[in-house]
Amino acid sequence: MVESARRKKRSGGRAGNAERRGLAVIEQMPWNPPVNIDRPVAPLTEEGIAAIHDGAMRILEEIGVAFLNEEAIEVLRGSGGCLIDGANVRMDRDFVMEMIAKAPSHWTITPRNPDRTLTMGARHINFGNVSSPPSYWDMKLGRKVTGTREMCRDFLKLSQYFNCIHFVGGYPVEPQDIHASVRHLDVLYDKLTLSDKVAHAYCLGKERVEDVMEMVRIAGGLSDAEFEARPHMYTNINSTSPLKHDQPMLDGWMRMARRNQGLVVTPFTLAGAMAPVTMAGAVAQSLAESLCAVVLAQVIRPGACCAIGTFTSNVDMKSGAPAFGTPEYMRATQMTGQLARFYGLPMRASGVCAANVPDGQAMWETSNSLWSAVQAGANMVYHAAGWLEGGLIASPEKFVMDCEILQHIQRYMDPMLTATGPEDIAVEAVREVGDQGHFFGIQHTQDRYTTAFYQPFLSDWRNYEAWEASGGVWTAQRAHQLYQDIIASFEAPPMDIAIRDELAAFVERRKSEGGAPTDF
């Protein structure tokens, strides 16, 4: 691979500076979260849906799930629908269905910039950045290193910059140079000042959850009542499969439910490891684990805004390593989508891969996972940009490359592509050109050519000779250059100075109080 990279030609001086700023680095598609116009891919028959539903219900009725949180146990005991034995909670299927029927089929999240409000549910698709890798890789380093705040800030800038990233999930890379007791304060300060998109809180102890809710409230300039009037942020919890919800996850889940924020529960059910080796079994178990958390939320707050996620994949049975973007992963995602519609709940999926570097394998695995999310009718796609090594590495090149795929999906959902009005069928244009000449110059083309087709920002469509003459740069290296350019020219979205000061003061105060305990 050639190390040099194509750079855009630029003029110097003030005009050049202006051009470099903000959105000028690439021509990207506008902010416009896609609406899924396709019928979902539905591998299950009605009987198949019923069989998986029955399996999930039998798991909840006959086997039960451990709720490792006394408060949650007491809430469920008071619900009148659960059989409780220590931490083990069994739920009657009628009770489960009655509770999840209270959950709205779609709901909104309104971040500090209301223009960035997202709808979770119906046919809406929302993409988020990679979240939670401990490590970082980029082409300049050429190796895997521990995440830092600076790297995390760079990903927050990329997340804000790209219009195809609709929400900012967890830490895009874990900034391990910040002490864990105050990490949430610094990262949320960075996130809320560098971005105006929907933000997220990890459920890692009550102090963190409360701090993040307070910071999102401050950033939005909201009163407590306004904050609780509708979701302004969300959390995502993972069950500890098989069949357990742990203490801090449940604690945060309940705190967020009480304050009417978005609730997403995503079991991590690797078939053959934490779940049955059969995909339908792994999906049934995943549903049991997610639905009982939705029940808990509905008991606490009927109508709480919930979504169920899928993270069902398979392991490599030779090594036990997790695999992502496999055929099994795709089918599990699609099956979960069918069941999410059956339950009337919004759905979360992911853009994931097992590849260690942003190469061909990374792209076929990520394409498989992203498109299967779309085919499943997922409303929220986590890790949609930047994920490598099964989530252990965040990479800016991968982030930029994935955004090209996300733009494909956004464009693919534009009804213009499949419009069939008389001007689309264009018999008169065909008549005009006849069997001689070409369509470049005719009026029908001239009227439409600027918007007729998707324009990539990273794909290089030049022929080999032109590509070679400009350095012969492979995709990942082109993405590296774009990442550098975007970071260099990034401008944070506007924020009222008083709000910024209030956020900073909050962070200072909480740091002086010692932040959050680290013994979770």
Residues 476-505 interacting with a copy of itself (rule: CB under 8 A): 476, 479
What is the footprint of a copy of itself within residues 76-95 (CB under 8 A)? 88
d(CA 3, CA 131): 28
Least CB distance from residue 502 to a copy of itself, whole Å? 41
What is the footprint of a copy of itself within residues 1-40 (CB under 8 A)? 1, 37-39
Q: What CA–CA distances, in Å, run from 147 to 137, 167, 305?
A: 9, 21, 32
- What residues does 270 pair with on adjacent strands? 313
Is 72 one of the binding residues for a copy of itself (CB under 8 A)?
A: no
Least CB distance from residue 406 to a copy of itself, whole Å? 11
Residues 6 or more apart whose Cβ sits within 8 Å of residue 488? 20
Select 187 or 393, whichever has its Cβ closest to a copy of itself: 393
What is the footprint of a copy of itself within residues 169-198 (CB under 8 A)? none
What is the footprint of a copy of itself within residues 333-362 (CB under 8 A)? 334-335, 354-362
- What residues does 349 pair with on adjacent strands? 381
What is the footprint of a copy of itself within residues 203-242 (CB under 8 A)? 242
Least CB distance from residue 96 to a copy of itself, whole Å? 16
Is 52 one of the binding residues for a copy of itself (CB under 8 A)?
A: yes
The residue written with tokens 């600076």 in the block is: 150
Least CB distance from residue 255 to a copy of itself, whole Å? 24
What is the footprint of a copy of itself within residues 273-292 (CB under 8 A)? 273-281, 284-285
- Give the up-direction half-sphere exposure of residue 213: CA atoms within 13 A in the CB hemisphere: 29
Least CB distance from residue 439 to a copy of itself, whole Å? 6
464 three-state secondary structure: helix
Radius of gyration for the alpha carbons in the chain, expressed in angstroms and rounded: 24
Distance of CA 466 to the CA centre of its chain: 37
DSSP letter (8 states) at residue 315? B
What is the footprint of a copy of itself within residues 418-437 (CB under 8 A)? 418-421, 423-427, 429-431, 433-435, 437
d(CA 320, CA 317): 5
Least CB distance from residue 127 to a copy of itself, whole Å? 15
Select 192 or 288, whichever has its Cβ closest to a copy of itself: 288
Select 324 or 490, whichever has its Cβ closest to a copy of itself: 324
Is 247 one of the binding residues for a copy of itself (CB under 8 A)?
A: no
Select 439 or 520, whichever has its Cβ closest to a copy of itself: 439
**Total binding residues toward a copy of itself, as defined by CB under 8 A:** 129
What is the footprint of a copy of itself within residues 358-377 (CB under 8 A)? 358-365, 367-368, 371
- What residues does 315 pair with on adjacent strands? 322
Select 445 or 489, whichever has its Cβ closest to a copy of itself: 445
Figure out which of the listed residues 163, 414, 471, 502 binds a copy of itself, where binding follows CB under 8 A.
414
Residues 6 or more apart whose Cβ sits within 8 Å of residue 287? 52, 53, 56, 308, 336, 339
Cis peptide before 172 (omega within 30 of 0): no
Is 70 one of the binding residues for a copy of itself (CB under 8 A)?
A: no
Distance of CA 463 to the CA centre of its chain: 35
d(CA 181, CA 517): 6
Least CB distance from residue 149 to a copy of itself, whole Å? 22
Select 296 or 355, whichever has its Cβ closest to a copy of itself: 355
307 three-state secondary structure: strand
Figure out which of the listed residues 9, 13, 14, 62 binds a copy of itself, where binding follows CB under 8 A.
62
Least CB distance from residue 170 to a copy of itself, whole Å? 20
Part in contact with a copy of itself (CB under 8 A); list of ranges 165-173, 257-265, 297-305, 459-467: 459-467
What are the residue ranges of helices labelled H in 360-435? 360-376, 396-412, 422-425, 427-433
Figure out which of the listed residues 31, 439, 457, 520 binds a copy of itself, where binding follows CB under 8 A.
439
Is 512 one of the binding residues for a copy of itself (CB under 8 A)?
A: no
What is the footprint of a copy of itself within residues 112-151 (CB under 8 A)? 135, 137, 143-144
Least CB distance from residue 218 to a copy of itself, whole Å? 38
Q: What CA–CA distances, in Å, run from 41 to 324, 331, 333, 388, 490?
A: 19, 9, 10, 26, 39
Rounding to the nearest 10 degrees, give the CA dihedral for residues 368, 370, 374, 376: 60
Part in contact with a copy of itself (CB under 8 A); list of ranges 4-12, 161-169, 293-301, 457-465: 457-465
Least CB distance from residue 53 to a copy of itself, whole Å? 10
What is the footprint of a copy of itself within residues 379-408 (CB under 8 A)? 389-390, 392-393, 401, 404-405, 408
Residues 6 or more apart whose Cβ sits within 8 Å of residue 29? 163, 164, 407, 410, 411
d(CA 41, CA 38): 9
Burial 308-333 (b: 16+ CB within 10 A, else e): bbbbbbbbeeeeeebbbbbebbbbbb
Least CB distance from residue 37 to a copy of itself, whole Å? 7
Select 107 or 127, whichever has its Cβ closest to a copy of itself: 127
195 three-state secondary structure: coil
